[in-house]
Amino acid sequence: MVEQHTAEGEPTEIIKLSWMGYSSATAQDSVDPMSAAEKNETAEAAKMLVDFLGDSVKPASECEQFPKDSGVDFEKVNVFRVRQKAGVDTRRQPHGNAWEWYGRILYGTGKTQ
């Protein structure tokens, strides 16, 4: 961490990176690294989500409740990372304010992982 100051003189902490070669890490990984246990939980939750969704579109509320009913605690895993790993996108339902989840492969917007 590097400490710098704002224009008002307030201290701020920033991360300084030095690239030393190729890395598969993302910017998110550098600021919020996951332990091996968290990676396993995320992968497990993603697999369950893929199996749950199949080739269908389901309300976000069902998709968020399913892992809880199956023993995965979304308080311990990052829902965005689970969806990303599973290849799942979200969108607003066409006629309403609710959200729904679907696999990217369903609409040809990418491959599921």
Q: How confident is the model at residue 111 (pLDDT cuts 50, 70, 90)?
A: very low
In 2-107, where do the E strands start and end?
2-5, 11-14, 57-59, 88-92, 99-103
Question: Hey, which of 12-16, 68-72, 80-84 has the most confident mean pLDDT?
Answer: 80-84
Q: Is the pLDDT of residue 87 over 50?
A: yes
How is residue 80 written in tokens? 């965005």
Question: Which two tokens mark 24?
Answer: 């598969």
Between the alpha carbon of residue 62 and those of residues 23, 27, 53, 103, the distances in Å are 36, 30, 10, 14
Q: pLDDT (tens digit, 9 = 90+) per residue, 35-52?
A: 778 888 888 888 888 888
Q: What is the pTM for the complete model shown? A: 0.61
Average predicted confidence (pLDDT) for the chain: 77
